[in-house]
Amino acid sequence: MPASRETIESAFNQRATTYDNNSWHIRYAERLVELAAPAAGMRILDAATGTGFAAIAAARAAGPTAHVLGVDISDGMLSRARQSMTSLGMTNVDLIKADAASLPNLDTGSFDLVLCSAGLLYLPIRTALREWRRLLKPGGLVAFSTMREGFPVAARLFREQASHYGLALTDPATPLGMPSRCRQELRDAGFIPAQVVTETVRFSRADLEYAWQAHTQGPHHDAIAALSPTQVATFRAEYTSTLADLLNTNEDHALTSEVIYALGRAGRQETDTQL
Ligand SMILES: C[S@@+](CC[C@H](N)C(=O)[O-])C[C@H]1O[C@@H](n2cnc3c(N)ncnc32)[C@H](O)[C@@H]1O
């Protein structure tokens, strides 16, 4: 069953203070923005902006004549984003608390670009993409990123180990985790797939120090709450040691994650979407 909005919000409120410690988050977000190539004067929506990595990168790339709106449901993440905007002196980024999949207060056809970095696995995919299609001007671009199915390796290992405790955790990357699925979702939402590329993101060893925390506080794995404190302690010790072994025997495998960047164009006319 997908996690509720309240569960997701609370999970990210808890993670907000340490989220920026993971060095890969920013590289992952900045690469999406690089591929989307925002231009001067654009109106840009950063859906599920989190601590604002993609919003900041887009505002920098598009310059002072552009405007970026970041939306997120987590007050904790938004508060970190606000701190960053203030310390960077960014005046062309606004941040609001809202559900990125339903933005009735925003006008149809009012954005040139919608970004969503690492956010769609928490959202109802089709509903969100359709909403962003509505918000885009004809010819506008949507750009999102997602893990390829089975990645990150540390998360796969976590799920495998969880099965030893009777927990059947599913891979949250599965619904979008293949380029063909990204293209299909883009088409189903009325976009013309423009560019769908698989690349890798490299974690640092320090990133993996947060792996247990990220998995157990994440909204996809709340079934762990069913375990007793003793089981959790044993699970944690086993997971940490298996991950350390993997890092020592096959560091590249443990630290490299395949990711997908998918870009779709809003057709200029309804018939364009038939392409
Ligand atoms: C993994 S973080 C990604 C944050 C940021 N885009 C980045 O690249 O670092 C996912 C974010 O999605 C947000 N989120 C989840 N569901 C949401 C929803 N329905 N509406 C808006 N934001 C949502 C979470 O609060 C969290 O900040």
Parse the chain into domains and list their residue ranges.
5-150+172-203+257-274
> What digits encode the pLDDT tens for the residues 108-164?
999 999 999 999 999 999 999 999 999 999 999 999 999 999 999 999 999 999 999
Query: What is the reported pLDDT for 268?
Result: 76
Strands across the sheet with 67-72, in order? Answer: 93-97, 67-72, 43-47, 111-116, 136-147, 256-266, 191-202
Q: What's the length of the chain?
A: 275
Query: What is the reported pLDDT for 208?
Result: 86
What contacts 67, CB < 8 A, 6 or more positions away?
42, 43, 44, 92, 93, 94
Q: Of all protein residues, whose CA lies closest to atom 13 belonging to ligand 1?
A: 48
Alpha-carbon distance 141 to 38, whole Å?
A: 10
How far, in Å, is the centroid of ligand 1 from the Cα of 2?
A: 15
CA torsion sign for 65, 97, 127, 51 is: positive
52 CA: nearest ligand 1 atom:
5
Contact 19, 25 (CB under 8 A): yes
Does residue 80 line the site of ligand 1, with CB under 6 A?
A: no
How far, in Å, is the centroid of ligand 1 from the Cα of 72?
A: 6
**5-150+172-203+257-274 under CATH 3.30.420.40, yes or no:** no
How far, in Å, is the centroid of ligand 1 from the Cα of 144?
A: 12
How far, in Å, is the centroid of ligand 1 from the Cα of 52?
A: 10
Contact 80, 13 (CB under 8 A): no
Does residue 15 line the site of ligand 1, with CB under 6 A?
A: no
Tally Cβ neighbours within 10 Å of residue 249. 9
Alpha-carbon distance 171 to 185, whole Å?
A: 18
Average pLDDT for runs of 10 along the chain of length 275: 82 90 92 98 98 98 97 98 96 97 98 98 97 98 98 94 91 96 98 97 88 80 83 93 94 95 86 44
Does residue 74 line the site of ligand 1, with CB under 6 A?
A: yes
- Best mutation site among 31, 73, 259 for ligand 1, i.e. most ligand atoms within 8 A of its Cβ? 73
How far, in Å, is the centroid of ligand 1 from the Cα of 188?
A: 22
Tally Cβ neighbours within 10 Å of residue 82. 15
- What three-state secondary structure class fits 93? strand
Does residue 121 line the site of ligand 1, with CB under 6 A?
A: no
Does residue 257 line the site of ligand 1, with CB under 6 A?
A: no
Q: Cα–Cα–Cα angle for 233, 171, 72, nearest 5°?
A: 90
Contacts of residues 227-230 at CB distance under 8 Å and 24 or more positions apart, as own/partner, are: 227/165, 227/167
What contacts 245, CB < 8 A, 6 or more positions away?
none
Alpha-carbon distance 129 to 145, whole Å?
A: 13
Query: What is the reported pLDDT for 275?
Result: 40
How far, in Å, is the centroid of ligand 1 from the Cα of 267?
A: 27
What contacts 115, CB < 8 A, 6 or more positions away?
32, 33, 36, 44, 45, 46, 47, 54, 55, 58, 143, 144
Does residue 131 line the site of ligand 1, with CB under 6 A?
A: no
